Homo-oligomer: A and B are copies of this chain.
Amino acid sequence: MSKDKKGDLFDLLFPDKDIISKAEIDRIRAGCEIVQFQKKDIIFKQNTLTSHIMFIKSGLVKIFKQGKNNKSIILKIATPGNFLGLISIFGESTFQYSASAIEDAEILFIDFNTFQSILTNNGKYTTSLLKKLSKENLYVIDRLIAQYHKQLPGKIADLILYFSEEIYHSEKFELPLTRNELAEFAGTTKESLIRTLTEFKNDKIIELEGKKVNIRSMDIIKTLSRIG
Interface residues, chain A, with chain B CB atoms under 8 Å away = 65, 67, 71, 73, 75, 86-92, 96, 116, 119-127, 129-131, 133-135, 137-138, 140-142, 144-145, 147-149, 187
Q: Among the listed B140, B148, B149, which residue makes an inter-chain contact with A141, where contact means beta carbons less than 8 Å apart?
A: B140
Give the number of copies in the complex. 2
Asked if A148 contacts B187 (CB within 8 A), the reply is yes
Nearest residue (CB) in B for A119 is: B127
Chain B residues within an 8 Å CB radius of A123: 119-123, 125-126
Asked if A133 contacts B135 (CB within 8 A), the reply is no
Nearest residue (CB) in B for A116 is: B127
Chain B residues within an 8 Å CB radius of A73: 145, 148-149
A-B contact pairs, 11 of them (CB 8 A): A90-B130, A90-B134, A91-B137, A92-B138, A96-B138, A119-B130, A122-B123, A140-B141, A144-B145, A147-B148, A148-B187
* Distance in angstroms between the alpha carbons of A125 and B130 in the assembled complex: 12
* Distance in angstroms between the alpha carbons of A131 and B50 in the assembled complex: 14
Asked if A134 contacts B86 (CB within 8 A), the reply is yes
* Distance in angstroms between the alpha carbons of A177 and B126 in the assembled complex: 38
Contacts A119-B123, A122-B123, A141-B140 given: A91-B148 contact, CB under 8 Å? no
Q: Among the listed B124, B134, B187, which residue makes an inter-chain contact with A120, where contact means beta carbons less than 8 Å apart?
A: B124
Chain B residues within an 8 Å CB radius of A134: 86-91, 133
A226 to chain B minimum Cβ distance, whole angstroms, is 9
